[in-house]
Structure 1
Amino acid sequence: MTQQGVRWTTDQVLALAPDAASRAAGGTLGAAGPWSQAGSSDEGAVWGLCEGGRSRPYRTVVDVADASDPAYRCSCGSRTVPCRHALGLLLLWAGGRGAVPRGRAPGWAERWIEERRGSARAERAGAGSAMSAGPEAARRRAERRAARITAGVSELEQRLADLLRGGLATAEPEGRGLWEETAARMVDAQAPGLAARVRELGALPASEPGRPVRLLEECALLHLLDQGWLRRERLPDGPAATVRSRIGLPGSADGPPVRDHWLVLAQYDTSDGRLTTRRNWLHGTRSDRIVLLLSYGAAGRAPDLALPVGLAFEAEVSAYPGSGQPRAALGERFTSPAPEEARPPGMSTARATARYGEALRSDPWLESFPVTLGRVVPTPVGDSWQLADSDGDTALPLTPSAVARPGLWRLVALSGGAPVTVFGECGHRGFTPLVAWPEGAGEAVPLC
């Protein structure tokens, strides 16, 4: 049960979204603009009226008394649970700032809360086996969702087979409509991870050099993910967890807590205009482990977690499931962040690409992998740049996005032709530098 009167975090709210589309749509409603008469009670109810495309506003109420089993009611009639109005209301509530003040619920919200809680009490009283009912119901829900995903995967496999049978050139006249329709079917099948990958196929620019090759590669990765789901019962635990994560099934950071002295390597935000995602890369100075912390902010609000680069603190983190997954959740902190002169040990560019290859064996859908390059020099190559080993004859090209960033020139200025240490993300499109250190002593220089 939640402590009465305690607001959730933005991460808690966004974790309720059934798919990426709902998360984005809820983010647009996480501001005060469309809401009126919003309020909350100490007993765990949140309510409000949301202006929409009709004459009467949508009535939305959420029961958050039990954080493990929240309930929603909205007059929009959406089959998606929670709907975007419920997500938006909870994001507004989580943001604080007086947008959802304490008060007494209006009659329509109070009646629903009382009816729901009364029914819940009656169900608990009438259940002969209360201890086993919860797990059994959860098992049945999981089985129903798995069956819907399997149906969606089978349909996607048929569409991929039709596409390849007719030739990739047939995808050109279809435009993005085919992929949007397929993505919508994956959302209906409750497989948001598949839907996101399908949309990426439709977003490939027609003028992109090598587009047929990219299209074939992405289709192959989709096929591999489909087959991984259909054969998940035969996979070892690690790969099976990776497949479930890539499909879009929610997971919790239930790995054993790892206590370490964590150095903040990099922090950067990405936004789609509705939702801001913040990525924090940390390095354990004792375990030599690199982990990724994600936090979210809706409707133009900055994510809650802010960790300045170059600081370090003692804390516990717990890993999310999946083979080789760097993502973790921040647990208890034991010290406040303080400046730290340590830096992760660097490796050669050849070793970095080998590490990425090793990671792909556990997660073939991995776009990039965190590595630290030691004693590299930024070098121009035609219209692009690369990081060349000063002590060898190998190099890593920079990604097009990295070349376009102002951080490239900070890196070049820091180097001045001399070797530097660079942390970043190594992937199949190249290397994206995120932070650099000069040779010898010196503070970290953020590049993003």
Structure 2
Amino acid sequence: MIERWNRDQVLALAPDAPSQKAAQGVSSPGKWSGIGVTADALWGECKGSGSKPYRACVDLSEPAYRCSCPSRKFPCKHALGLLLLWSADGVPAADEPADWVAEWLDQRRDRAAKAATRAAATADPAESGPPGGGRRAEQREQRVAAGLSELERWLADQIRQGIAGSRRHDHWDGLAKRLIDAQAPAVAGSVSRLNAVLATEDWPARLLGEYALLHLLSVAHRRLPEMVRASGDGADAPERAGAPHPAAAGLLQRVRERVGFPVTKEEVLAGETVRDVWDVLGRRDEEQDRLIARRVWLRGRATGRPALVLSFAPVGQALDASLVTGTALDADLAFYPGPSPLRALVAARHDAAPAGPAPGSTPERALEEVARALAGDPWVDSWPVVLDGVTPARGSSWQLAGPSGGLALHPSAGTPWRLLAASGGHPLTVAAEWTPRGLRPLTTWDEKGRVIVL
């Protein structure tokens, strides 16, 4: 049986605040009939405005949702209300799911099996056939190189002329469009998001920092052939002539990924995997280029490895909600290549794992881990940390303080009221997202080991 989630975990699944409020309005037992829960499924019928009740069910192993209501929100208020009722121990256990629920679960398993078969066929070179488009790939490489060369010149001009003219919000539009034409979409996205820097008080320093990272990326891409040759000339170089040293291969891949040459999911899933019990520390949604990006942070209990699972959806459409904050999953993760591997895909799930506070470390140890990540990948802009024995404290700004030091909170955190209430002046274990501007608190745990979403 999957461990029952608490109220905070359920409400964290809601797509917006109105959905949270509406879900609480349909979470009373009197609204439901035919409810039940098994090891991996939850279902019930909710009284609505029509003559027929709405049928809602949840596959708890993912989770995934289904409801007969016409709502376009996902999960809808009925699925959330049913989960709230379950979290309050208001759903009786059943031996078998209802027929209509069993049919839906069977359909999901069939689709998953077919998808796994297609993925295996794609990953098999014998099935996928020889790669094509060599000339097209060469043309793209030339366009990208020309676009990044223009970016270098543009940055040099900005430093020579001064950054006072950057206060116009359309200052980077032309450059971003030219980088898109040069088929370097990731760099174009980084340039287009520079507008957000102007909203901060210390915008000149932050803008110069962003310019420095863009310059470092463009120079690194220009020197890729030189880096490959240099890394292959050492005494411990691979036997194949021209092959990069393994220590440099991840950095080379990361540079190309930051420019806009992505690694496919099939390539990632075909590589090695890491099995562990992964604590789901929290998530954050943000809008990027007319898409909603969801970051879900995990950390392995045995390996201590951090992981980031990314998903994207157009504004208004459902995002992946299969990783629930505060839960733990026994799973195999496949990591994207890089000098500081962080982004990952869930390759396989195993049995459910008991939830509880994630193992933490001191602020000093956490900073050492972040420093190692930055040494391997200078463009890292966030990293998950779990701090043990810290309390929220107010100095020049709010911070999470331990016995020998503390880490400042991100300005957007404001006054951390929920964290202060949970602490009551006593040390806590807190999961947070490190950023160059400070920590974004994600979750903490109460004295009974129950998660509190911050």
Q: Into which bin does the TM-score normalised by the smaller protein fall?
A: 0.5 to 0.7
In structure 1, the residue matched to 2:302 is 286
Letter in 2 for 1:428: P
Provide structure 2 residue ranges, at least 5 long, that are not aligned to the other structure: 1-73, 75-125, 229-247
Write out aligned runs for 1:212-291 (5 A).
Answer: 212-233=204-225, 234-235=227-228, 236-252=248-264, 253=268, 254-271=270-287, 274-291=290-307
Letter in 1 for 2:202: G
In the alignment, is the contact (CA less than 8 A) between 1:323 and 1:363 conserved in 2? yes
1:388-438 per-residue CA deviation (whole Å, 9 max, x = no partner) reads 11x22x11110012226xxx2111111011100111111210111101124
Letter in 1 for 2:205: V
Distance 1:273 1:249, change over 3 A: closer
Letter in 2 for 1:280: V
Deviation of 1:339 after TM superposition, in Å, equals: 4.2
Distance 1:273 1:160, change over 3 A: closer
Tell me how far apart the structure 2 counterparts of residues 353 and 218 of structure 1 sit (CA, whole Å). 21
Provide structure 1 residue ranges, at least 5 long, that are not aligned to the other structure: 1-94, 96-130
Tell me how far apart the structure 1 counterparts of residues 406 and 318 of structure 2 sit (CA, whole Å). 36
In structure 2, the residue matched to 1:144 is 139
Provide the TM-score with structure 2 as the length reference.
Answer: 0.63
Tell me how far apart the structure 1 counterparts of residues 323 and 160 of structure 2 sit (CA, whole Å). 50
In structure 2, the residue matched to 1:443 is 450
Letter in 2 for 1:210: D
In the alignment, is the contact (CA less than 8 A) between 1:288 and 1:344 conserved in 2? no
Provide the TM-score with structure 1 as the length reference.
Answer: 0.64
Letter in 2 for 1:446: V
The structure showing larger relative contact order (alpha-carbon pairs under 8 Å, at least 6 residues apart) is: 2
Write out aligned runs for 1:41-440 (5 A).
Answer: 135=130, 137-172=132-167, 175-205=168-198, 208-233=200-225, 234-235=227-228, 236-252=248-264, 253=268, 254-271=270-287, 274-335=290-351, 337=352, 339-341=354-356, 343-382=357-396, 384-389=397-402, 391-392=403-404, 394-403=405-414, 408-438=416-446
In the alignment, is the contact (CA less than 8 A) between 1:283 and 1:290 conserved in 2? yes
Tell me how far apart the structure 2 counterparts of residues 436 and 414 of structure 1 sit (CA, whole Å). 8
Deviation of 1:145 after TM superposition, in Å, equals: 1.3
The RMSD of aligned alpha carbons is 2.6
Tell me how far apart the structure 2 counterparts of residues 240 and 376 of structure 1 sit (CA, whole Å). 38
Deviation of 1:441 after TM superposition, in Å, equals: 4.4
Per the alignment, in what secondary structure is the counterpart of residue 177 of structure 1? coil
Where does structure 1 differ by over 3 angstroms across 4 or more consecutive aligned residues?
133-136, 271-274
Per the alignment, in what secondary structure is the counterpart of residue 321 of structure 1? coil
In the alignment, is the contact (CA less than 8 A) between 1:176 and 1:203 conserved in 2? no
In the alignment, is the contact (CA less than 8 A) between 1:265 and 1:281 conserved in 2? yes
Deviation of 1:135 after TM superposition, in Å, equals: 4.0
Percent identity over the alignment is: 42
Distance 1:176 1:274, change over 3 A: closer
Deviation of 1:203 after TM superposition, in Å, equals: 3.5
Tell me how far apart the structure 2 counterparts of residues 197 and 281 of structure 1 sit (CA, whole Å). 22
Tell me how far apart the structure 1 counterparts of residues 194 and 250 of structure 2 sit (CA, whole Å). 27
Distance 1:344 1:402, change over 3 A: same
Distance 1:177 1:264, change over 3 A: closer
In the alignment, is the contact (CA less than 8 A) between 1:315 and 1:330 conserved in 2? yes
Per the alignment, in what secondary structure is the counterpart of residue 440 of structure 2? strand
Per the alignment, in what secondary structure is the counterpart of residue 281 of structure 1? strand
Tell me how far apart the structure 1 counterparts of residues 132 and 364 of structure 2 sit (CA, whole Å). 51
Deviation of 1:218 after TM superposition, in Å, equals: 1.2
Per the alignment, in what secondary structure is the counterpart of residue 320 of structure 2? coil
Tell me how far apart the structure 2 counterparts of residues 373 and 261 of structure 1 sit (CA, whole Å). 19
Tell me how far apart the structure 2 counterparts of residues 430 and 268 of structure 1 sit (CA, whole Å). 15
Deviation of 1:138 after TM superposition, in Å, equals: 3.6
Deviation of 1:276 after TM superposition, in Å, equals: 2.4
Deviation of 1:178 after TM superposition, in Å, equals: 3.3
Deviation of 1:168 after TM superposition, in Å, equals: 2.1
